[in-house]
Amino acid sequence: MYIKNCFFVYIAMSVLDKLITDEDPFHIHKLHGIYCLCNYFFQFTNYYYHKTMILNPYILAPHIMLHVTSFVFQVLSRRPVTNDGKIISKMSMFIWSELRLHSLLFGWRSCFSIIFPEYSVLIVFATMILADIATWCYGTPNITTVRGNNLMEKKSMTKIMYSSFFSTSQMGATIICAGFFMKSYEPNPVLVFCTLPAIQTSAFGMTLLRKNIITKEIWQLIYSLELILVYIFWYLEYDNLDIAYFSILAYSLRFNGLSKYIIWTAFYLVNDYLHEQKFPLYFFMKEQNYF
């Protein structure tokens, strides 16, 4: 038993040694990260026992500051790609400016949609605009942070499935943060909070991969489970999986070249009309008295 405990202590110390750097000498970013991980555990446990989460500006403040403190680290100015647009595999786990800014924007979108639910739609559209500005300043043409090179055919069916699932889940997160197709005009704070883990652990997962602490397969599993978590909580809240239909619809429209601004404006108008008319979503919802 003593040898076993010593082994685990050695492994833990080795991991910490790889994660501790001179760029964060006072461990401010790490402390925020630890808080966020603990808060995820607390909120999901609290929901399990009490069917609710405790979400207020004070509890969410460290989640907001997590992204601010990440700027103590030096990152690549742009995503490393070859001249013909191929992502350099050996550097694919290095964080670059566009990714960090997108992480901040979408993390803040979730937090501020909970804190200021009455402005959720405005927050969502402002996030899209700012994300486009970040891409214009630091991005690479035709290469996105999730799908990679949009012009290069992916030969692996597994990669296509992962990419489609990740993109569809992104659409679902936007629907949830905006509060579309819910019982009220405002977003469900529990569901919005569930969109945070995948956003806020993404860069950390890349760091663990780059430092050979975990494997790519392990991280894909963890990230996929974080995305699936949103669908699970939607089902627990509404007893259906209609978010999947909405997300697939939005992704299909986007995949076929329709502007995201047109898509989300249309979603907003349809949602507003249904609320104004007090129409139940017969074609989407299983509960006739949803509103």
Q: Is residue 291 part of a domain?
A: no
Statement: residue 274 has pLDDT above 80: no
Distance CA 273, CA 291 (A): 13
Q: Is residue 286 part of a domain?
A: no
Q: 9-13, 231-235, 279-283: which has the highest mean pLDDT?
A: 231-235
Distance CA 73, CA 69 (A): 8
pLDDT attached to residue 29: 92
Statement: residue 13 has pLDDT above 50: no
- Mean predicted confidence (pLDDT) in 82-102: 71
Q: pTM to 2 decimals?
A: 0.85
Q: Which residues make beta-bridge pairs with 143?
A: 140, 149
Statement: residue 80 has pLDDT above 90: no
pLDDT attached to residue 130: 97
Statement: residue 151 has pLDDT above 60: no
CA torsion through residues 205, 254, 257, 120, sign: negative
pLDDT digits over 153-197, tens only? 556 777 788 888 999 999 999 999 999 988 777 899 999 999 999
Q: With bands split at pLDDT 50, 70 and 90, how would you rate the model's confidence at 75?
A: confident
Q: 151-155, 219-223, 231-235: which has the highest mean pLDDT?
A: 231-235
pLDDT attached to residue 98: 92
Statement: residue 14 has pLDDT above 50: no
Query: What domain count does the chain have?
Result: 1
pLDDT more than 70, % of the chain: 77
Q: Is residue 284 part of a domain?
A: no
Q: Is residue 273 part of a domain?
A: yes
Q: Is residue 145 part of a domain?
A: yes
Domain membership of residue 16 as a residue range: 2-277
Distance CA 73, CA 291 (A): 47
pLDDT attached to residue 134: 95
Q: 3-state SS of the chain? A: CHHHHHHHHHHHHHHHHHHCCCCCCCCHHHHHHHHHHHHHHHHHHHHHHHCCCCCCHHHHHHHHHHHHHHHHCCCECCCCECCCCCECHHHCCCCEHHHHHHHHHHHHHHHHHHHCHHHHHHHHHHHHHHHHHHHHHHCECCEECCCEECCCCCCCHHHHHHHHHHHHHHHHHHHHHHCCCCCCCCCCHHHHHHCHHHHHCHHHHHHHHHCCCCCHHHHHHHHHHHHHHHHHHHHHHHCCCHHHHHHHHHHHHHHCCCCHHHHHHHHHHHHHHHHHHCCCCCCCCCCCCCC
pLDDT more than 90, % of the chain: 55
Q: With bands split at pLDDT 50, 70 and 90, how would you rate the model's confidence at 39?
A: very high
Q: Is residue 282 part of a domain?
A: no
Q: Is residue 159 part of a domain?
A: yes
Q: Is residue 107 part of a domain?
A: yes
